[in-house]
Amino acid sequence: MIHCPGGGVPNRSRNSVTTYRQPGLVLTDHRFPVPLDHDRPDGERIEVFAREVVAGDKAGSDRDRLPWLVYLEGGPGFGARRFIGPQAWLGRAVREFRVLLLDQRGTGRSTPANRQTLPLRGTPAEQADYLAHFRADSIVKDCESIRRRLTGGAPWTVLGQSFGGFCAVHYLSTAPQGLERVLITGGLPSLHATADEVYRAAYPRIRRKNEAHFARYPQDAERARAIAAHLREHRVTLPGGGHLTPEAFQSLGILLGSGEGTHQLHLLLEGAFVPTPGGPALADAFLEQVQAQLSYAGHPLYAVLHEAIYAQGEGPTDWAAERVRAEYPEFDAGAALDEGRPFLFTGETVHPWHFTTDPALRPLRETAELLAARTDWAPLYDPERLAANRVPVAAAVYHDDMYVDTVHSLDTARTVRGLRTWVTDEFEHDGVRAGGPRVLDRLLALSRDEI
């Protein structure tokens, strides 16, 4: 067994807890040892961190009577959102639930998996084998292990955002006995689409988001071209040591999938250049903000495992986003500059060059290559079991979600027996956060047949 600092947990038989307060809330931090490989329960163990949240006025004798709701964050590779007080949907949830904010394995305060810790695993091949245990199937098995310890065996409600919704659909496919109800926001995956098919559906959506952005902020078209041209002519280094290429700059389009993202991108672009004795240069403040948006230092698994979340034994993902991009030449940054065409941003796509430009990813390049070539991924969803589903399920499907294809989501919704959808263009992909309590309120009502 490999003993990693903050990693292996050889001598813990039960979770350790710490309780404290925030305004209006009582929080309890839990650490759960779980098997790295649930098919080998007596083998190596890692740790999963989770934060229990209860309303301050329910933290006494009422606490143990509250039903549990576990929140699965989007990603892959992001820890659960850190709230300060009853923000966004959390304030609605704690009115009737005991909420568990789960840092999925490898993220947040769970046993870390990043450029600093993964070399402790050994070679890139050994690192890739280790990370193969960090997909939705292992995350759901962690949930089941934790549920049995916390609830005494009672089922709980799952709220899954984006990739958390993918995990929830896997949960319905493999362990529905653990579920009281399932609420999904922007996270109904295709049950069958390959990674190539996912990105063939994605690039036209990304183009539409670009068109909408430049229609709102037409001045940004020339600003984006000017920045890209500057980056082609100058080697620009970000404050964290990353190399800002035109293609890396394109990745700022990930902002266009959130409710305020188009405005954030505009504000970022308008302050790009400053005058210097050597001519116009990209401002330090601009580069600092770009660094904050583009660095994978805080969530490397998002890049390393991103295409693996779509893999189901149909062959290697083989850098699908990069290969499929060639079918959409309008996203070729160099050609756009050479031919005077609009410069388009990309979106939620990971490319091999990310592992060259970003210092947080460079040491993981070979590991990522091995994962992209892997062919032994297990199926994630069981359409037959989903067609026989008896768990109440409600899903918010955003009308033109940049991150998750609406057609794919609705196809899946038709497969899952009893699933009720709320299709809306009121929100972008981050509706569960931006919509405050309304999204959770609506999904709970749908799942209970109250509307």
Of 213, 429, 430, 447, the catalytic one is 429
Is 376 an active-site residue?
Answer: yes
Is 338 an active-site residue?
Answer: no
Residues 409, 158: Cα–Cα separation, whole Å: 18
Is 429 an active-site residue?
Answer: yes
Residues 248, 353: Cα–Cα separation, whole Å: 8
* Whether the bond into 76 is cis, omega within 30 of 0: yes
Q: Is 157 helix (H, G, I), strand (E, B) or coil?
A: strand
Q: Is 180 helix (H, G, I), strand (E, B) or coil?
A: strand
Structural element, H or E, at residue 90? helix 88-93
Q: Is 89 helix (H, G, I), strand (E, B) or coil?
A: helix
CB-side exposure of 304: number of CA atoms within 13 Å?
34
CB atoms within 10 A of CB 122: 12
Residues 250, 351: Cα–Cα separation, whole Å: 12
Of 162, 190, 295, 447, the catalytic one is 162
DSSP letters for 371-440: HHH---PPP---HHHHHT--S-EEEEEETT-SSS-HHHHHHHHHHSTT-EEEEESS--TTHHHHTTTHHH
Residues 95, 193: Cα–Cα separation, whole Å: 38
Q: Determine phi and psi for 219, rounding to 5 degrees.
A: -65, -20
Residue type, 432: V
List the Cα angle 297/398/429 in 5-degree steps: 15
Structural element, H or E, at residue 185? strand 179-185
Of 39, 42, 64, 376, the catalytic one is 376
Active site residues: 162, 376, 429
